[in-house]
Structure 1
Amino acid sequence: MTLNGETKRDKPEKPLRPIYHCRVQGDTERKRGCGGVTIGSEPLEDFVLSCLFFRLDTPDLGKLLDTKPETGERLKKLLEDRSLLEMRKKDILKDYGRGDMTREEMLFSKSEAQAALDDINHEIDQVSRSHQANALVPVDTTVKEAWFATDSLQWKRGIMDLVIDKIIIQPGGGKPYYECQLSDRRFRFDPERVEVKWKA
C-alpha cells in the first residue's frame, strides 16, 4: 500500500515531525496496509535523492540523453513493428480457430510473437524515456543542479518517474544515526530499510 504523509509527535513536549506511515486503510481506497511501518520523511527523502543524483549524474544519464537525429525514425519503425506483431498474434488465433494449426503449434507461435512484442515494448520505453530526459534536463547541467534550481514539483516528479519504478520500505528495528547528504542535519534513520527499485 502507498505510504501516506503525516505528522507525528513522539512526546508531548516534542515538536511535530513529518513522517510516512503505512496506514491500515487509505482515504480513497479500501486496500489495506499493515498499519505499522513508519519512517521519517526528511531522512528518507534525503537518502532517495542522494541515490537519484548519484545514478543520474553518472553514465546512466548519458545513456538516457543519447538521442540521435534518427531516433524519431527508429521510434516510428518500432511502433510499426509492434502493430504488425499484434496483428500476428490475432492471426495465430484465427489460424488455430480454423484448424490450420495444432494447439501446440498455436501456443508456440503465440509465445514467440509475445516474446518479440515484449522486446519491442521495452525498446519503445527506452527511446521514449530518452526523449523525456532531453526535455527535462538542461544541457550542460547536472540533475542535482537542475533539481535545486527549480520549485516545480511536476518537473521533479518527471525526473523521478524516468528512472524509479518504486521504493520499498521494510519494517525497522534499530535506528542508527544518519548524516544527511544534502544538508547538515542528522536523524535516527536506517538506510538499510529502504530499497529503491530502478527502471531497467
Structure 2
Amino acid sequence: MKRPRSAAIYARISKDITGEQLGVQRQLQDCRELAREMDWTIGAEYTDNDRSAFNGKIRPQYRLLLEDLRSGLRDGLIIWHADRLHRSPVELEEFIDLCEDRAFAVATVRSGALDLTTASGRTIARIHGAIARGESERMGERMRRSNRQAAEQGRPATRGPRSYGYTRDGMTIVEAEAAVVRVLAERFLAGESIAALTRWLNDSEIPTATGGTVWWSASVRQLLRSARVSGQREYHGEIVAPGTWPTIITPEQTTRIRRTLDAPERKTLRTPSRYLLTGLLRCGRCDRPLISHPKHGVPGYDCRRDVGKGACGKLSIVAEPLDEYVRDLVLTALDGPELAAAMLRRSQPGTDADALAGKILADEDKLTGLAEDYAAGEITREQFKTATAILQKQITANRERLATLDGHGELARYLGQGEQLRDRWHASLSLDQRRAVIRSIVEAVTIHPATVGTSRFDPDRAEIRWRV
C-alpha cells in the first residue's frame, strides 16, 4: 500500500442521544492510533455526528471528504469500519469509481485495508455494504413495528421537536401555549382562514415551540390538524388510539377541523397553486429535478426514474405544505431589511449601489428613531405618521433602484410588497404571477429525504438557495 502524502480520517455515528459526540470521539481515537502505527500523516479529520448513512440525507463532511479526495488534496483515508462510510449501494459505487480514478489508499481499524483498485477488493467492499444495508433495513423494520405498537397503546411520540402545547415528555400541558391552541381552534371553526390566523400569531409575536417568533401557514395548519392536541394518537396521519396525556381541545373539535381542512371544495380552490415550485426543486439524493406529479390524488413533487436520466426515483414530497412554506419565506423576506443588507454586502464601495444601500439603512434607522420619539411623547401622532410615510416611500424607491443596479431588476417589482402580495395571493394573482414572485428571489430548492417514520411536513427538508 502506497504511503499517503496527506491522509484523511472520517468518522460518523447515526444517533447521538446525549449530544456529547462520544461515539465519534472513540472512532477518531482509534483511527489516529492506526495512523501512528502505519506512519501516515493526517491532513484533516471529517466527522458527521448524529447522521445516518442509510436514510439518504446529505452528510456535509462526507461530501467535503469526496471533494478533497477528488481534487487530490487528500490521497489516503482511514475509517473505523467500512459501514461508517456507506450503507447505500449507490454511494458505495460512487466511492469505488472515485477510488479507481484517484488510486488512493483506504485503511480501516476493524476490517483491515480495502484495496478498491482490484476486483477482489471491490467485491469485498460490496459484500460489506450489502451486509450493512441489510442490518439497517432490519433495524428500520423493528423501529416501525415498535413505533406502531407505541401508537396503538396511546403512548406519546417523543422523538423529534417538542410538540406545541406540551412539555418535552409530551405528558404535561404548557398552559400559555394551550391557550393559543384553543383560540386558534375556536377562530378557525368560526370561519377565519389559516392565513389570517398566521398573521395574527406573527403580529402578536407569539413564540413558536422552538422559541422563534415567525409562524408559517403550513405549521399552523399542521398544528390545528394534529390529533395530539385533542388527546388522540395518530400514526402516519391515521388516528389509531386515545392518548394517555391531557387534552387541550376536544376530539370533536379535531374532527370538525379535519373535515373542514379536507373538504373537496377547499382542495379544488387551491389546485392551481399545488405546482407553484415546478422547475425549482432538486432531489436531495441524486440532485436531479423533481417532477410535479399527483400521488393517490394528492398533488406532489417526485424524483422519477422514467423522466430524468440518472434520477434515483426514491424521493417525493406533498406539494401544498411545501408551496406554502416557501411562499411564506419569500413574502416575509421581501418585507424585511435583510434583502437590503444582502445587497449592501454585494455592492462595491464607492459605487451607486453602495450609496443607495447606505441610504436605505440610514432611513431604516430613522424609522426606529421616530418610533422611539413618538413613544416618548416628543412628537405628535400626526408628525409620526407623516414622517413615517415619507421615509417608507424613500426606502421602497431606493430598494427598487438598488435591485436594478445589482442585477435583480425583476426583484425590484416586489421589494417591500410582501404583505400586499400575501393578501392578493389567491384572490387575484395568477399561477404565473405567483411563480414570478418566487423566482425573483429563489434560485433553487433542494428537498432532502424524510425522516423514517415521520409523515408530517418537516421544513428542514427544504434547503433554499437564494438569488441574493
Give the TM-score normalised by the residue count of structure 2: 0.24
- Contact 1:37 1:171 survives alignment (8 Å): yes
Q: How far apart in 2 are the matches of 1:22 and 1:174?
A: 18
CA distance in 2, matches of 1:124, 1:137: 9
2:464 corresponding residue in structure 1 = 196
The 3 A distance-change label for structure 1 pair 142 and 59 is farther
- 8 Å Cα contact 1:138/1:146 also seen in 2: no
From 395, 407, 415, the equivalent of 1:128 is 407
Out of 306, 318, 323, the position equivalent to 1:45 is 323
The aligned runs of 1:39-118 (5 Å cut-off) are: 39-60=317-338
User: Match of 1:190, as an amino acid?
Assistant: D
Q: Check if 1:17 corresponds to 2:298.
A: yes
CA contact under 8 A between 1:64 and 1:133: conserved in structure 2? Answer: no
Asked if 1 retains the 8 angstrom alpha-carbon contact of 2:305 and 2:313, the reply is yes
CA 136–150 in structure 1, closer or farther in 2 if over 3 Å, else same: farther
- TM-superposition CA deviations, 1:98-119 (whole Å, max 9, x none): xxxxxxxxxxxxxxxxxxxxxx
Corresponding residue for residue 159 of structure 1: 437
Counterpart contact for 2:411–2:441, Cα < 8 Å: no
1:115 corresponding residue in structure 2: none
Per-residue displacement from partner, 1:38-61 (whole Å, max 9, x unpaired)? 111111111111211221121245
TM-aligned CA deviation for residue 62 of structure 1 = 5.7
Q: Report the AA paired with residue 442 of structure 2.
A: I
SS across alignment from 1:17: coil
Q: Report 1:148-187 matches (<5 A).
A: 148-174=426-452, 176=454
What number of residue pairs does the alignment pair up?
A: 127
Asked whether the equivalents of residues 3 and 21 of structure 1 are also in contact (C-alpha less than 8 Å), the reply is: yes
SS in 1 for 2:413: helix
SS at match of 2:438: helix
Contact 1:137 1:146 in 2 (8 A): no
Q: Structure 1: how far apart are the matches of 2:418 and 2:445?
A: 29
Q: Does the aligned pair in 2 maintain the 1:167–1:196 contact within 8 Å?
A: yes
**Whole-Å Cα distance in 2 between the matches of residues 170 and 59 of structure 1?**
29
For 1:120, the equivalent position in structure 2 comes to: none
Name the residue aligned to 1:33.
311
1:17 is matched by which residue type in structure 2?
V
Task: Specify which of 289, 292, 295 is matched with residue 5 of structure 1.
Answer: 292
In 2, distance between residues paired with 1:197 and 1:172? 19
SS of alignment partner, residue 289 of structure 2:
coil
More RCO (CA 8 Å, sep 6+): 1
Give the partner amino acid of 1:52: V
SS at match of 2:406: helix
Contact 2:334–2:417 (CA under 8 A) maintained in structure 1: no
Q: What amino acid is aligned across from residue 196 of structure 1 in structure 2?
A: I
Q: Distance in 2 between matches of 1:8 and 1:147?
A: 25
2:414–2:437 CA contact under 8 A, matched in 1: yes
Which letter maps to 2:466? W
Question: 140-149 or 30-39, which moves further after superposition?
Answer: 140-149
Q: What SS does the aligned partner of 1:160 have?
A: helix
1: distance between equivalents of 2:462 and 2:430? 25
For 2:426 and 2:302, the matched residues in 1 are separated by: 26
- Higher Cα radius of gyration: 2
Give, in angstroms, the shift of residue 128 of structure 1: 3.3
Deviation at 1:3, TM superposition (A): 0.9
Q: Structure 1 residue 20: deviation in Å?
A: 0.8
- The answer for unaligned runs of 5 or more in structure 1 is 10-15, 67-73, 76-122, 178-187
**TM-score of the superposed pair, with normalisation by structure 1:** 0.51
Q: Distance in 1 between matches of 2:306 and 2:319?
A: 20
